[in-house]
Every structure is written in structure tokens, then in C-alpha cells.
């Protein structure tokens, strides 16, 4: 039986992770977060980074234990021995992947309409999904090359913002929180979703050389790189434009660029946002199709085996690629999946609780199993970072639910 082609090294996997995390979120979400937290949005990014790192460390160790494309599914199954729970985990991850890809595709259409008014949003979004699915089908090598290019463009855009606002950093009062600490935490919950892509890095383990060490390294490097970028961008954004004006803008970073270097720079950032959204849709489809491929393997008897088949020439899971593309198109037809995407993100936090719980369980169930990486901060077999991951993920879930029912 054909196997996935191992094309990625540490550099390729790290760039893939940076592309997943940067995504499209920072280009839009920073405005809303600044409107809530004021200049303390810088602390919101730092808090979100700490929480992401706690769960990221659990993913890193689990990926070194089981370097498989099915990722979350096999971690939960090995830890709890419950096939239904592991299948539910996989379904939730696939759902999050396709809904998020659809939402970002619609965002791409919105950005494009600022240059070409009158374009049908849904048609443009579907066109992007089809194009990125074709790249996904063609092969991981082509996908990785495009990801490197598009991620480089995304990073350049963020570095432009940093350059524009660097001289204003000394004027930023990071303790300025109009809504107090609740607002800072609320914004941290919002910007947390600008970090969550790291969990999907594990789905390319079978296409990465020496995955037991490279995937954990890539997870931690990608979180570290994006955290530095995010905090620098947040400092620059609130230094150049007041937080309330940022909060009212649909394209906050383009506004920062325009204020700093004129309308041409603003247009440049809007173009970069197109690259960012395209890259996000591509890598979400890659990671989601690999999850579907992994869980469909004959050894698990979970999902239909047809989705575990590998194209003999392209060496990609072509049936899984097609299904993920079709379902993503289906969600794109909704035209506005903002609420659904928000719920999907909430579901992902539940998955994070399971992932941290899986590490805690496997420390006791399989203490002698070889690990390419071990999360730091331990008391005997107990992982303190995994405990922190469980508590912070549950805390964010509770905080979100409390907001939904109007408690806060």
C-alpha cells in the first residue's frame, strides 16, 4: 500500500506551523481585541501565548509518542481506551477545520471585494476552496512551497506594521484597560484563536522526516516566533492608532499602515491579507484531510477506509482531500459562518482539555514508552504544564459560556 511522501524537515514544518498560527486572524482580530482591552491588548496577547504554550507542550510530547497523521484521535484512544470518545474527538477536529476554512475563504472574498466591488462573495469563496483543494491534491511538496512563500508575505506584512510603530512603543501604557482585568481576559480569549493552529501541526507527522523530534520542535518554535510577532504588532498598532478607532475598523492593520506610511501602504496590507487568507485555507485543508486520512486507516475500524487510500502518483490522500474540499464548499454556501466558527472554536477548547488529559493519563499508562520530547515542569510522572492546560482551557470555556448567557 502506498504511503505519504516524507518531504518536510524542521524548517518546512516550522514554516507550516507559523503559517497555521498566523493565519488570517491577526489581520482582523486585533482591532476588535484592542477595542475591548484598550492598550492592555498587549497583555492579552501575552496571556493567550502562555495558555497556548501549555497545550502546545502537551501536543509536542504526544506527537513524539505517536507521530501519526491522525493526531488527536490516537492520543485520546491510547490514553482513555475509548473508541467512541476518540472518534468524537476526530469528528470535532474535522468540523473545526472545514468550518474555519470556509470562514476564512469568505473573509478572502471580503478582502477581494474591496479591490473588485460587486463580486459575489460565496462564488469567490468557493473558487478559493476549489483552487486550494487542487493544490492539496497535487502534493505536499507543492503545498509546502506555496506555504513558505505565502507565510513569508504574511510575516513581511507584520514586520511592516512593527517598523511603522516601533518608535511609539514607549508611549503605550499596557496597563490601560478601559474595562479592567475582565476586558483584558476577554480580549485574551478572543486573540487566543490567533494561536490555535499549532494543534494541526501534528497532522503532517507522516510527511515529516524524523517526526518524533521535528514535530515537537516545530510546535514550540512556531508558537515562539508568532508570539514575538504578535506582541510587537500589538504594541505598534495601539501606538499608532488609538484602540477605540482600531476596534471600529474592519481592516485594522491596513489602517495602521495608512496612518503611518500613507494610502499605498494601506493598500499593500490589504493585498497581504489576501495572501494570508489563501494560505490559511490551504493549510487548514491539508491538516484536516490528513486527520480524516489517519482515522480512516483499516487498523482503527472507525471512518470509511476509502479515505485512507493514497494516490499512487501524487502520494496524497486524494479521497480525503476531495471530501474535505466538498464539505468546506458546503459551509461556504452559508455566506456567513461567523457564529458557527465561534462555536467551533469553543469546541476546540474542549478538545484541548482532552489532549492535556491524554498526556496526564499516558504519563501513567505508558511511562516507559520512548519519547522524542518530554514537557518540562514535572512532579514525578505528573505534568504540571498539562494540568495548567486543562485548567486554562476549562477556564476559557467557562468564561465564554458565561459571556454567552450574559453573566459577565
Q: What is the spatial distance between Cα 66 and Cα 78, in angstroms, rounded to a whole number?
A: 9
Residues whose CB falls within 8 Å of the CB of residue 133, separated by 6 or more in sequence, listed in order: 285, 321, 322, 324, 325, 328
Q: What is the spatial distance between Cα 299 and Cα 374, in angstroms, rounded to a whole number?
A: 27
HEC letters along 221-287: HHHHHHHHHHHHHHHHHHHHCCHHHHHCCCCHHHHHHHHHHCHHHHHHHHHHHHHHHHHHHHHHHHH
What integer pLDDT is reported at residue 95 of this predicted model?
87
What integer pLDDT is reported at residue 404 of this predicted model?
64
Q: What is the enclosing helix (H) or strand (E) of 378?
A: strand 378-379
> What is the value of pTM for the model shown?
0.85
Q: What is the enclosing helix (H) or strand (E) of 379?
A: strand 378-379
> In this structure, what are the phi and psi dihedrals at residue 326, rounded to the nearest 5 degrees?
-65, -45
Q: Which mean pLDDT values do the consecutive 10-residue runs of the chain (408 residues) have? A: 69 85 75 91 94 94 89 92 91 87 83 82 93 88 81 90 95 93 88 79 84 92 94 95 87 88 87 87 88 84 88 87 94 68 74 95 92 93 96 87 66
Residue ranges per structural domain of the chain: 10-404
Q: What is the spatial distance between Cα 282 and Cα 128, in angstroms, rounded to a whole number?
A: 9
What integer pLDDT is reported at residue 79 of this predicted model?
95
Q: What is the spatial distance between Cα 24 and Cα 387, in angstroms, rounded to a whole number?
A: 30
Q: What is the spatial distance between Cα 162 and Cα 39, in angstroms, rounded to a whole number?
A: 16
What integer pLDDT is reported at residue 127 of this predicted model?
96
Query: Within 13 Å, how many C-alpha atoms sit on residue 394's CB side?
Result: 11
Q: What is the spatial distance between Cα 151 and Cα 145, in angstroms, rounded to a whole number?
A: 10
Residue 181, Cβ neighbours under 10 Å: how many?
A: 11
Classify 382 as helix, strand or coil: strand
**Residue 139: C-alpha distances to residues 7, 68, 165, 282, 321 (Å):** 10, 18, 39, 12, 11
Task: Decide which of 1.20.1740.10, 1.10.150.120, 3.40.50.11540, 3.30.70.20 is the CATH code for 10-404.
Answer: 1.20.1740.10
Question: 261, 253, 215, 213: which is closest to 236 by C-alpha?
Answer: 253
Classify 59 as helix, strand or coil: helix
Amino acid at each position: 500500500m502506498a504511503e505519504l511522501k516524507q518531504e518536510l524537515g524542521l524548517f518546512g514544518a516550522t514554516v507550516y506551523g507559523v503559517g497555521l498560527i498566523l493565519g488570517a486572524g491577526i489581520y482582523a482580530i486585533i482591532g476588535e481585541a484592542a477595542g475591548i482591552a484598550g492598550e492592555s491588548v498587549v497583555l492579552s496577547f501575552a496571556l493567550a501565548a502562555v495558555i497556548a504554550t501549555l497545550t502546545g507542550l502537551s501536543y509536542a510530547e504526544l506527537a513524539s509518542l505517536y507521530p501519526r497523521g491522525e493526531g488527536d484521535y490516537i492520543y485520546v484512544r491510547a490514553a482513555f481506551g475509548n473508541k467512541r470518545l476518540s472518534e468524537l474527538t476526530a469528528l470535532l477536529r474535522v468540523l473545526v477545520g472545514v468550518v474555519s476554512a470556509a470562514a476564512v475563504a469568505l473573509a478572502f472574498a471580503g478582502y477581494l471585494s474591496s479591490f473588485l466591488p460587486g463580486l459575489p462573495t460565496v462564488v469567490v469563496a468557493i473558487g478559493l476552496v476549489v483552487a486550494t483543494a487542487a493544490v492539496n491534491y497535487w502534493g505536499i511538496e507543492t503545498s509546502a512551497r506555496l506555504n513558505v512563500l505565502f507565510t513569508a508575505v504574511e510575516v513581511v506584512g507584520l514586520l511592516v506594521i512593527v517598523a511603522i510603530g516601533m518608535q511609539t512603543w514607549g508611549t503605550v501604557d499596557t496597563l490601560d484597560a478601559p474595562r479592567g482585568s475582565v476586558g483584558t481576559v476577554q480580549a485574551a480569549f478572543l486573540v487566543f484563536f490567533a494561536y490555535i493552529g499549532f494543534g494541526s501541526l501534528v497532522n503532517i507527522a507522516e510527511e515529516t522526516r524524523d517526526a518524533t523530534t521535528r514535530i515537537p520542535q516545530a510546535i514550540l518554535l512556531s508558537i515562539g516566533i508568532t508570539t514575538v510577532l504578535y506582541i510587537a504588532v500589538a504594541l505598534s498598532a495601539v501606538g499608532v492608532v488609538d484602540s477605540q478607532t482600531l476596534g471600529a475598523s474592519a481592516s485594522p492593520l491596513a489602517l495602521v499602515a495608512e496612518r503611518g506610511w500613507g494610502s499605498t501602504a494601506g493598500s499593500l496590507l490589504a493585498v497581504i491579507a489576501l495572501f494570508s487568507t489563501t494560505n490559511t485555507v490551504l493549510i487548514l485543508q491539508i491538516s484536516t484531510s490528513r486527520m480524516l486520512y489517519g482515522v480512516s486507516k483499516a487498523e482503527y475500524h472507525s471512518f470509511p477506509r476509502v479515505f485512507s487510500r493514497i494516490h499512487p502518483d501524487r502520494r496524497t490522500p486524494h479521497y480525503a482531500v476531495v471530501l474535505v474540499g466538498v464539505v468546506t464548499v458546503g459551509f461556504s454556501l452559508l455566506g456567513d459562518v461567523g457564529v458557527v466558527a465561534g462555536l467551533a472554536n469553543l469546541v476546540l477548547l474542549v478538545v484541548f482539555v482532552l489532549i492535556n488529559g491524554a498526556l496526564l493519563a499516558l504519563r501513567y499508562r505508558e511511562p516507559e514508552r520512548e519519547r522524542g520530547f518530554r514537557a518540562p515542569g514535572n512532579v514525578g510522572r505528573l505534568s504540571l504544564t498539562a494540568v495548567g492546560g486543562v485548567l486554562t482551557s476549562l477556564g476559557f470555556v467557562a468564561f465564554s459560556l458565561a459571556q454567552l448567557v450574559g453573566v459577565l
